[in-house]
């Protein structure tokens, strides 16, 4: 085991560090995190509407549903201002964080990114009227600003902001000697670079439309985004990402943070499609989405470390380990695992490498097939990460009681995987040192 950890430390750790420090990946991760209020608000709107409709259909509470009708209408309004415009908000957030990381005006970066998205999507809408398809020109289909525009927002936001930053650092700006307020000075300094960036993106889109006869955003959706999202539904792909997150986390690198661009661009896109489908009264389109990992594997944080805490409290005879577990229990219930991961520690601890990696992989594999067989609803609502296990899956699966059962079974599986290694850690510590065996600080 020590040889395996050493090999991973020598070959995988440098790669993980490089990925974790890549400017674009960090900016993309921060962009997805920044739009979390939009994601949660839109999901709450769906949950509220689903709860009222479920009470009306399943419980026969027609009077209650009638009274709650205004709340349902408000939920629709919230939806139109959140999920329906998800790519719009992501584009602005990405432009802001990318420009900030490049040390240029972030507000101008957000504007350039948003403009780049708008130029890259179709300005016509198709309607079916009387059996005929009618094209309405000079109008945007609002669906292009939802999850279908995520990859377009990422691609052209990156291109636009990169050109903008390059022009700023090349000092393409108006040189004025007058003293201006800060906001006006920043706007003037960004004027020429922003114009150049916007026109460059415009020329790219014009050339593509002229050559292919279609809009870049539509081509990107059907040629890249849709196949990638479908690829993310494969069992092997799901397990591979779970494994990578855990291995990175074992070395003290935020695996969820490093792989957030992949997790969010593929599985969050699928999750948003599910949320949209359920909101429109249709079945969920994808069996595995971003929230599936959190609901069925990462209770207590990456590694399912809440069950490590439980195992220590139930079986460990080491007073020092039990003290750490007691301190870490409350944060662990709310999916905060730093106290146990760094306090025990689990990070770089060879004894806990196998369960830290294996428990989430087994949980994900089991939950994937249970969901695929239709024994539990797919995740179809975004739930805040601090919502405790059992409650979180119940809400995420749109009030499906079977999600509670699946979560409990997964927690028991994880507990069974962690327990032998808790006994092993006790024996190793007692044999080698009466004091805590792992006292290194990471």
Domain boundary among 231, 258, 291: 231
Burial 265-298 (b: 16+ CB within 10 A, else e): bbbbbbbbbbbbbbbeeeebbbbbbbbbbbbbbb
Residue 40 lies inside a defined structural domain of this protein: no
Domain boundary among 168, 199, 231: 231
Q: CA–CA separation, 315 vs 194, rounded Å?
A: 62
Local confidence band at 439 (pLDDT 50, 70, 90 cut-offs): very low
The reply to whether 248 and 183 lie within a common domain is: no
Q: CA–CA separation, 107 vs 195, rounded Å?
A: 14
Residue 120 lies inside a defined structural domain of this protein: yes
Q: Which three-class secondary structure string do you get for 327-367?
A: HHHHHHHCCCCHHHHHHCCCCCCHHHHHHHHHHHHHHHHHH
Mean of pLDDT values over 85-99: 91
Mean of pLDDT values over 83-104: 90
The reply to whether 252 and 312 lie within a common domain is: yes
Q: Is the pLDDT of residue 284 over 90?
A: no
**134 SS3 class:** strand
The reply to whether 203 and 308 lie within a common domain is: no
The reply to whether 176 and 208 lie within a common domain is: yes
pLDDT in tens, 343-378: 888 887 888 888 999 999 999 999 999 999 999 999
The reply to whether 152 and 294 lie within a common domain is: no
Residue 36 lies inside a defined structural domain of this protein: no
Q: Is the pLDDT of residue 435 over 50?
A: no
Residue 206 lies inside a defined structural domain of this protein: yes
Lowest mean pLDDT among 172-176, 299-303, 369-373: 172-176
The reply to whether 394 and 276 lie within a common domain is: yes
The reply to whether 392 and 280 lie within a common domain is: yes
Residue 279 lies inside a defined structural domain of this protein: yes
Residue 76 lies inside a defined structural domain of this protein: no
Mean of pLDDT values over 285-300: 90
Residue 269 confidence (pLDDT) = 85
Residue span of the structural domain in which 305 resides: 235-432
Residue 409 confidence (pLDDT) = 95
CA 354 to chain centre: 25
The reply to whether 162 and 251 lie within a common domain is: no
Q: Is the pLDDT of residue 264 over 50?
A: yes
Higher pLDDT, 292 or 129: 292
Considering its fold, how many domains does the chain have in total?
2
Domain boundary among 188, 203, 231: 231
Local confidence band at 60 (pLDDT 50, 70, 90 cut-offs): confident
The reported pTM is 0.75
The reply to whether 212 and 247 lie within a common domain is: no
Residue 373 confidence (pLDDT) = 93
Residue 14 lies inside a defined structural domain of this protein: no
pLDDT in tens, 215-237: 888 888 788 888 888 888 999 99
The reply to whether 214 and 363 lie within a common domain is: no
Q: Is the pLDDT of residue 441 over 60?
A: no
The reply to whether 252 and 298 lie within a common domain is: yes
The reply to whether 198 and 308 lie within a common domain is: no
Residue 44 lies inside a defined structural domain of this protein: no
Residue 54 confidence (pLDDT) = 73
């Amino acid at each position: 085991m020590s040889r395996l950890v050493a090999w991973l430390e020598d070959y995988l750790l440098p790669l993980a560090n490089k990925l974790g420090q890549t400017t674009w990946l960090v900016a993309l991760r921060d962009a997805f995190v920044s739009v979390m209020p939009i994601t949660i608000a839109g999901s709450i709107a769906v949950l509220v509407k689903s709860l009222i409709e479920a009470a009306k259909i399943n419980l026969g509470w027609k009077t209650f549903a009638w009274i709650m009708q205004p709340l349902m209408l408000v939920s629709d309004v919230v939806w139109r201002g959140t999920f329906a415009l998800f790519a719009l908000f992501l584009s602005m957030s990405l432009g802001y964080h990318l420009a900030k990381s490049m040390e240029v005006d972030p507000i101008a970066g957000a504007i350039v990114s948003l403009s780049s998205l708008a130029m890259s999507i179709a300005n016509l809408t198709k309607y079916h009227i009387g059996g005929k398809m009618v094209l309405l020109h000079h109008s945007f289909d609002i669906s292009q600003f939802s999850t279908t525009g995520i990859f377009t927002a990422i691609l052209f936001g990156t291109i636009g902001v990169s050109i903008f930053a390059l022009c700023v650092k090349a000092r393409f700006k108006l040189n004025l000697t007058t003293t201006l307020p800060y906001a006006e000075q920043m706007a003037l300094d960004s004027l020429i670079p922003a114009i150049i960036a916007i026109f460059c993106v415009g020329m790219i889109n014009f050339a593509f439309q002229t050559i292919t006869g279609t809009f870049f955003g539509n081509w990107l959706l059907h040629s890249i985004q849709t196949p990638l999202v479908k690829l993310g539904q494969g069992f092997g792909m799901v397990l591979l990402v779970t494994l990578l997150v855990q291995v990175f986390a074992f070395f003290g690198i935020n695996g969820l943070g490093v792989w957030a661009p992949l997790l969010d661009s593929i599985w969050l896109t699928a999750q948003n499609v599910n949320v949209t489908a359920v909101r429109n009264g249709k079945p969920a389109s994808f069996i595995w989405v971003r929230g599936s990992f959190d609901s069925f594997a990462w209770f207590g944080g990456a590694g399912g470390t809440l069950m490590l805490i439980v195992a220590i409290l139930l079986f460990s005879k080491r007073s020092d380990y039990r003290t750490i577990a007691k301190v870490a229990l409350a944060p662990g219930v709310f999916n905060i695992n730093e106290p146990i991961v760094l306090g025990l520690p689990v990070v770089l601890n060879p004894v806990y490498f196998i369960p830290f990696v294996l428990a989430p992989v087994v949980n994900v594999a089991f939950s994937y097939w249970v969901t695929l067989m239709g024994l539990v609803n797919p995740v179809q609502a975004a739930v805040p990460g601090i919502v405790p296990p059992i409650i979180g899956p119940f809400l995420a699966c749109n009030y499906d009681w079977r999600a509670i059962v699946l979560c409990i079974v997964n927690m028991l599986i994880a507990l069974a995987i962690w327990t032998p290694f808790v006994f092993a850690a006790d024996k190793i510590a007692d044999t080698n040192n009466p004091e805590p065996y792992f006292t290194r600080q990471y």
